[in-house]
A and B are shown apart, each in its own frame.
Chain A
Amino acid sequence: MSDTYAPHEFQYSSAEHQAGTALAGMWLFLATEVLFFGGLFLTWIYARSQNLAGFDAGARETELWIGTLNTGILLTSSFVYSTGLAFARVGNNRRLMQCCFAAIGLGLAFLALKFGLEWSGDFDKHLWPVGPDFKFAGEPTEGGARLFYVFYFIGTGLHGVHMVGGIVLVAMIAWRARRREFSPLYVTPVEVVGMYWSFVDIIWIILYPLIYLIGRS
């Protein structure tokens, strides 16, 4: 792709118009995602307020070190991807591709820790809240703990699905960077995917204290 000419589709008056429309479209999508996860956060407020002791007892059973490490991993992956975008803006497709691979690696590490290690441990401890197998040490607070684990599995599961989608999108950017499709005049897809990747990070930033910290203090 040329470094001096920014192409655009026929329905847009300019490349800037096309880029602005793409960014606005992604922000509109993210606004719907905010409300989607808003329902989940409201569930947390309601369930915790009605079952305080059990809900907090459930939170104390979570693996704090995995949650904290995963938060650091996601913050780093957002930083790495944003660095790749900065490289793309100066025309360095190779560095962008490397940053995408690093972000993908961090995303996969997050998923491995969350689902490979933490969830499997939760299943071993009989913390899956649906059905008669649920067992919780603090029996008087079992009801609230069961509700906590409903929130935990739905929240982390939905976030994990978004992570998988983000990894696929970042891989597509890496593939296009390998083909040198981006230039200082054309980085819109890199920007749009970066917004989504960082948004998934923000969701985890909120989920982390709700799941691991607030019930512990």
Chain B
Amino acid sequence: MPPRFPRLLIAWVLLLVLLGVEFGVAMLSFAPWLRVLILLPAMAMAAIVGIVFMEIGRAPVVARGFATAGLFWLLVLLGLGSMDPLTRTYYHTTVEHPE
């Protein structure tokens, strides 16, 4: 087996464990707005794939810059785009119809 194989194997097992955790947590009952916390194991899994399988740490500096920029603009996109749906307030009003 090649020298990197144990590291890859550990990452794979960890990914499957996190998948199990994510699946198990999703079976619990949460308030609708807390359910996005189910994304936390998914983010950890994405980080493991990026670090171990995609080897971002071994990439040239400019490549790491591109990866960081991609994540940064994704956060800007999701952050600014979410402002309206996450902060909108609905006021109950009564409409009087003229007789």
Tell me whether A and B are bound partners: yes
Number of interface residues of A (CB under 8 A): 54
> Does B63 contact A20, Cβ atoms closer than 8 Å?
yes
Q: Which residues of B contact A78 (CB under 8 A)?
A: 49, 53
Question: Considering the complex, which residues of chain A in the window 1-51 have a beta carbon less than 8 Å from any beta carbon of chain B?
Answer: 20, 23-24, 26-28, 30-32, 34-35, 38-39, 41-42, 45-46, 49-50
> Does B38 contact A24, Cβ atoms closer than 8 Å?
no
Most buried by A among B2, B62, B81: B2
Q: Which residues of A contact B15 (CB under 8 A)?
A: 75, 79
CB distance from B57 to the nearest CB of A (A): 12
Contacting residue for A90 out of B2, B39, B46, B49, CB 8 A:
B2
> Does A45 contact B16, Cβ atoms closer than 8 Å?
no
Q: Assuming A72-B19, A217-B27, is B67 touching A42 (CB within 8 A)?
A: no
Question: Is A202's beta carbon under 8 Å from chain B?
Answer: yes
Using a CB–CB cutoff of 8 Å, the interface residues on chain A facing chain B are 20, 23-24, 26-28, 30-32, 34-35, 38-39, 41-42, 45-46, 49-50, 52, 56, 68, 71-72, 75-76, 78-79, 81-83, 86-87, 89-90, 92, 191, 194-195, 198-199, 201-202, 205-206, 208-210, 212-217
> Does A27 contact B86, Cβ atoms closer than 8 Å?
no
> Does B71 contact A34, Cβ atoms closer than 8 Å?
yes
> Does A42 contact B5, Cβ atoms closer than 8 Å?
no
> Does A214 contact B70, Cβ atoms closer than 8 Å?
no
CB distance from B28 to the nearest CB of A (A): 6
List, sorted by A's number, 29 A–B pairs whose CB atoms are closer than 8 Å. Answer: A24-B63, A27-B66, A28-B63, A31-B66, A31-B69, A31-B73, A34-B74, A35-B74, A38-B74, A39-B77, A42-B78, A45-B81, A46-B81, A68-B23, A75-B16, A78-B49, A79-B8, A79-B9, A86-B5, A90-B2, A90-B3, A201-B49, A205-B42, A206-B46, A209-B38, A212-B26, A214-B36, A216-B26, A216-B27
> Does B59 contact A217, Cβ atoms closer than 8 Å?
no
CB distance from A96 to the nearest CB of B (A): 10
Residue on B with the closest CB to A79?
B12
The 6 A-B residue pairs with the shortest CB-CB distance in the complex, in nearest-first order = A31-B70, A49-B85, A213-B26, A86-B2, A79-B12, A27-B63
Q: Assuming A31-B70, A72-B16, A82-B52, is B11 touching A24 (CB within 8 A)?
A: no
Rounded to whole angstroms, the CA-CA distance of A60 and B30 in the bound complex is: 15
